[in-house]
Structure 1
Amino acid sequence: MAQAARAVTVVPFTQRAEALTGADWVWWWVDGTGAYGMLVQAKRVTVTRSNWSFDFGYEVKSAARPQREMLLSTAALLDLLPVYALYLGTGDYRGWECCSDDHGNGNCISCVKRTISLMPALLAEKLIVSDAVSTYERSVALEDLWTPPPAGALLIPTLEKQLAPELLNFLQEPQDGTRAVTRSMIDQVLRARYGAFTAVSTSVASPQSGDHDQLGRVFGDVPDDTGHWGQRYFEHTLNPLLHVPPGYVLGIASGDFDQDRLTSDMPDNIAGIVVVRVPPHE
């Protein structure tokens, strides 16, 4: 706990966001090689027999737009990955549903880790995410987020042929630190894409300005494929991976920032910022 406390810096804003959208939080994962940014919204599971629901379509009466729409639009504005932090409760509440291949009976460690799980908002489809299996398949335990992936990402062969060598290596080789966090998110998206029947786009997005310098995005040449989401999911998931954190993140990490100015620079639906210094894997 002491190590975790030293690794995390939290900057809370006013409670103005609570009434608007349920308080979305900016999370930045930072290490010596770069940074990965998310906009995170909390959701609690409701378990009824074997049915699970998260109310992804929740609407706040005092807000002009649905909560999900605000999450997606604000994440796009800030160039962050929109993510749901799923509170799944205890193993008893979930009936100790099988969480993984190494699932154990009662007090299963993997189940305990699953209490807080992160899911890319792109995958939060109400009709699909409706039970334990679909929830576990499309999310990752918070405690395992920076664990190096044990194997390469699941890739449709047509997509694999479109990948630049650097990106292909990233998806096939073990990653560490912020890149492991990024892989945790893109792997979930690619697994869902692998199981879909939508035809694969054969074009590649044009390089974006500054993508290959040492300050901007890590990956610029990515496939244009949208899947059934109608969203260029490679850009959507990988754009928040940067060589260098934004200036406000560097300021927070060093303790040299003006909180009032930081608050005023952020959209009204942001409740605060969390900066996590990701430890190297041992």
Structure 2
Amino acid sequence: MAACERAQLSWGETAITEIVMSRAAAAVSVVPFSQQAEAISGADWVWWWVDATSAYGMLVQAKRLRVDRGRWRFDFGYRNRAGSQWARLRETAATMDLVPVYALYLGTGDYRSWAPCPDDHQGLRCHSCVKRSVSLMPALLADSWIVNDSKTTYERSVALEDIATPSWTASFLIPALREQLAPDLANFLLTTQTGTRAVTRSMIDRVLRVRMGQFGAVSAPGLTAARDSSHDRLGPVFSELPTDTGHWNEPYFGHVLNPLRHVPPGYVLEIESGEFDVDELASNMPEDVTGIVVVRLPQNG
């Protein structure tokens, strides 16, 4: 990004994604699929975060920031011949039991005029701002009318480099929601998490922070059972989740937390073992999926 900006060249999602993946491949498992060129732009990557006790699956799509006279803009509403990119991302994620996520490409601090980050901002060359160049945001929070400046972008996203940082503070919770939490979920949200569960907390915490600022009343107490709950040690970690919908018209706890599972699906285990056929793997994935990334995290975060 910096090299392009110095040369006054515009960089796009596809080029930056390829660079990110090439750097990540030195430390994690990256399996790209061979697809038509026109299908790659804005295409989705399956990301699995795995440790000794759990796995968390995301469907990630890149979105670059454009800054015009101080106003920030992300084209979440982009449409092509196949329809709404945002809708396809969510539909595919739901089919695969993954949480839909945007990888926000924010450019360099110079590109953002060193807009103050919320992480103890240090001015020019702020290290936290530099890390923000690639940030992850739950697609549930992708609202172009609201996410139009540095403040809302930073509040609703987390730097990719920080996503597995242990969560030292409790989640933001409306008091009425605390009463609806099953003991295992309450423990997850109110105590420090590491490894894969820290990654999961980074997503639900952003959603809960936004929910805290919404004026809608908490939905009447109710619990939804996770899918595959008959196989407790194979399915989702949380068997019961609150049905509160906020302003999103869907139970956001299930949307974000159901992809947290005790063990990853079989194709992830095959990738980690190195015993897989790329063509066969690709044939079992939706056509929008460009490849798979598997990140093995140490249990201590």
TM interval, short-chain normalised: over 0.9
Residue 258 of structure 2 corresponds to 239
Other structure's SS at 1:10 match? strand
CA distance in 1, matches of 2:33, 2:220: 44
Which structure 2 segments of 5+ residues have no match? 1-19
Q: Which moved more, 1:215-224 or 1:204-213?
A: 204-213
Contact 1:42 1:84 (C-alpha < 8 Å) held by counterparts:
yes
Contact 1:21 1:269 (C-alpha < 8 Å) held by counterparts:
no
CA distance in 2, matches of 1:10, 1:18: 21
1:45-74 Cα shifts (integer Å, max 9, x gaps)? 0011221001000112x32x2111110100
2:115 to 83, 88, 97: 97
1:54 to 59, 62, 74: 74
CA distance in 1, matches of 2:220, 2:27: 42
Other structure's SS at 1:229 match? coil
Residue 31 of structure 2 corresponds to 11
CA distance in 1, matches of 2:60, 2:27: 19
Please tell me the residue identity of whatever aligns with 1:100.
P
- Map 1:112-123 → 2, pairs under 5 A: 112-123=130-141
Please tell me the residue identity of whatever aligns with 1:264.
S
Other structure's SS at 2:242 match? coil
Q: Does 1:28 align with 2:48?
A: yes
CA distance in 2, matches of 1:150, 1:114: 20
Contact 2:224 2:243 (C-alpha < 8 Å) held by counterparts:
no
Moved over 6 A (4+): none
- Map 1:56-205 → 2, pairs under 5 A: 56-60=76-80, 62-63=81-82, 65-205=83-223
Contact 2:168 2:193 (C-alpha < 8 Å) held by counterparts:
no
Residue 261 of structure 1 corresponds to 280
Normalised to the residue count of structure 1, the TM-score between the two structures is 0.95
Other structure's SS at 2:272 match? helix
1:194-243 Cα shifts (integer Å, max 9, x gaps)? 00011111232232354371111001211100000101100000000000
Residue 7 of structure 2 corresponds to none
> How many matched pairs?
280
Other structure's SS at 1:169 match? helix
Contact 1:41 1:71 (C-alpha < 8 Å) held by counterparts:
yes
Other structure's SS at 1:22 match? coil
1:93-126 Cα shifts (integer Å, max 9, x gaps)? 0010110141002110000000000000000111
Other structure's SS at 1:158 match? helix
Please tell me the residue identity of whatever aligns with 1:106.
L
Which structure 1 segments of 5+ residues have no match? none
Contact 2:109 2:129 (C-alpha < 8 Å) held by counterparts:
yes
Please tell me the residue identity of whatever aligns with 1:240.
P
Residue 207 of structure 1 corresponds to 225
The alignment yields a C-alpha RMSD, in angstroms, of 1.9
Other structure's SS at 2:60 match? strand
CA distance in 1, matches of 2:38, 2:104: 18
CA distance in 1, matches of 2:226, 2:137: 27
Please tell me the residue identity of whatever aligns with 2:274.
G
Shift of 1:5: 4.5
Shift of 1:22: 1.9
Normalised to the residue count of structure 2, the TM-score between the two structures is 0.89
Please tell me the residue identity of whatever aligns with 1:145.
I
The alpha-carbon distance between structure 1 residues 20 and 274, as it changes in their structure 2 partners (threshold 3 A), is closer
CA distance in 1, matches of 2:224, 2:185: 15
Contact 1:24 1:272 (C-alpha < 8 Å) held by counterparts:
yes
Residue 269 of structure 2 corresponds to 250
CA distance in 2, matches of 1:238, 1:16: 33
